[in-house]
């Protein structure tokens, strides 16, 4: 499947090719699970597509998409293209030796007429040494090379790196864009539910569609969230081992925090009085005595905790207890 949504971004990218103004490095920036890496891959396909008709002026920009069937498109789809290098954090960080491997790859000449491309996923995990090393590559761009840095937190990248990259921001997409693209056997109610839980993020929506058990997991958290918010502090602490068992995995923790976050968003929507039909979708009871200020603070706390656990080895149980301490409504 081609990209879901991100039409403005795609038009911008196509114009770069048409005007032959392809930069050496780009940062695709926006919250997680929007499909930024997918957008980079589709753009790389288009750049190297053997059936690319970009030089024809008869075709509208929005219609320029990779053919998906030539050898190059297929190899990129399967991450088997020798002109594409992919790197992501090992453990929590991207280390300098990974950037050195990338530099070695870039030294080799691409096949004539092709672009050499690399995708650095979760680029905010580049540690300082790795960023310094990468900077050298960005300072001396050479030949038909294009680097993509996929990042959800721009502020963690050196300003010297940011200033050498073309930055393209990605946003959540609308319901109509999703429903237009997802042609599966799924009812509109179910799709609306998934849309709310995914907060309009295409990658997350695809994850839910491919793994329906994740929806029931999220809904379970949803039901627990209401109980947790009403519970006394000691009950909240008892809840943690009851819900997670002896040990909490990072994945479970993230799913739980997503669920909790979505539950607080439901309360927020109810308070605005605008979206009662969403409450009906979930058949959810909500807490009445939450102030806007407190809701906002708690949503921020959850976001901070998500960032913390993705980047450090903080103790998950303790940090969850800490969150619960501040979760009281008022």
b/e per residue 85-102 (b: at least 16 CB within 10 A): bebebeeebbbbebbeeb
CB-wise, 71 or 318, nearer to Zn ion?
71
For the bound state, the minimum distance from the C-beta of residue 76 to Zn ion, rounded and expressed in Å, comes to 9
For the bound state, the minimum distance from the C-beta of residue 69 to Zn ion, rounded and expressed in Å, comes to 6
Yes or no: say if 282 and 266 are a contact pair by the CB < 8 Å rule: yes
| Cross-strand partners of 94 | 126
For the bound state, the minimum distance from the C-beta of residue 63 to Zn ion, rounded and expressed in Å, comes to 14
HSE-up (13 A, CA, CB side) for residue 77 = 14
Torsions phi, psi of 87, nearest 5?
-140, 150
| Cross-strand partners of 84 | 117
Torsions phi, psi of 33, nearest 5?
70, 25
Spatial neighbors of 81 by CB under 8 A, at least 6 apart, are 48, 72, 75
CB-wise, 67 or 88, nearer to Zn ion?
67
CB-wise, 70 or 279, nearer to Zn ion?
70
CB-wise, 49 or 138, nearer to Zn ion?
49
For the bound state, the minimum distance from the C-beta of residue 9 to Zn ion, rounded and expressed in Å, comes to 20
| Cross-strand partners of 148 | 26, 119
Place of tokens 């909240």: 236
CB-wise, 51 or 160, nearer to Zn ion?
51
For the bound state, the minimum distance from the C-beta of residue 46 to Zn ion, rounded and expressed in Å, comes to 8
Query: Within the chain, how many helices (H) and strands (E) appear?
Result: 15, 5
CB-wise, 49 or 120, nearer to Zn ion?
49
By CB under 5 A, name the binding residues for Zn ion.
Answer: 49, 51, 66-67, 70, 73
For the bound state, the minimum distance from the C-beta of residue 43 to Zn ion, rounded and expressed in Å, comes to 12
């Amino acid at each position: 499947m081609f990209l879901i949504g991100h039409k403005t971004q795609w038009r911008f990218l196509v114009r770069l090719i048409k005007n032959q103004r392809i930069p050496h490095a780009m940062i695709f920036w926006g919250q997680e699970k929007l499909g930024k890496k997918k957008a980079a891959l589709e753009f790389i396909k288009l750049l190297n597509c053997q059936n690319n008709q970009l030089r024809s002026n008869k075709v509208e920009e929005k219609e320029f998409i990779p053919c998906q069937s030539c050898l190059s498109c297929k190899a990129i789809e399967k991450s088997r293209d020798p002109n594409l290098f992919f790197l992501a954090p090992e453990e929590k960080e991207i280390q300098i030796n990974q950037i050195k491997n990338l530099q070695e790859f870039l030294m080799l000449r691409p096949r004539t007429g092709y672009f050499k491309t690399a995708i650095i996923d979760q680029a905010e995990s580049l540690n300082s040494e790795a960023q310094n090393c990468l900077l050298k590559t960005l300072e001396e761009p050479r030949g038909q090379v294009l680097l993509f840095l996929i990042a959800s937190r721009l502020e963690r990248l050196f300003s010297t790196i940011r200033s050498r990259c073309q930055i393209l921001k990605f946003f959540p997409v609308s319901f109509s864009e999703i429903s237009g693209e997802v042609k599966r056997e799924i009812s509109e109610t179910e799709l609306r539910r998934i849309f709310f839980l995914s907060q309009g993020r295409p990658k997350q929506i695809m994850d839910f569609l491919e793994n329906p058990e994740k929806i029931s997991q999220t809904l379970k958290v949803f039901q627990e969230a209401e109980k947790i918010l009403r519970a006394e502090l000691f009950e909240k602490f008892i809840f943690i081992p009851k819900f997670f068992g002896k040990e909490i995995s990072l994945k479970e923790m993230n799913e739980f925090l997503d669920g909790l976050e979505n539950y607080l968003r439901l309360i927020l929507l109810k308070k605005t009085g605008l979206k009662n039909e969403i409450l009906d979708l979930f058949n959810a009871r909500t807490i009445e005595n939450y102030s806007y200020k407190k809701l906002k603070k708690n949503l921020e706390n959850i976001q901070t905790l998500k960032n913390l656990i993705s980047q450090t080895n903080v103790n998950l149980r303790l940090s969850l207890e800490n969150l619960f301490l501040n979760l009281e409504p008022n």
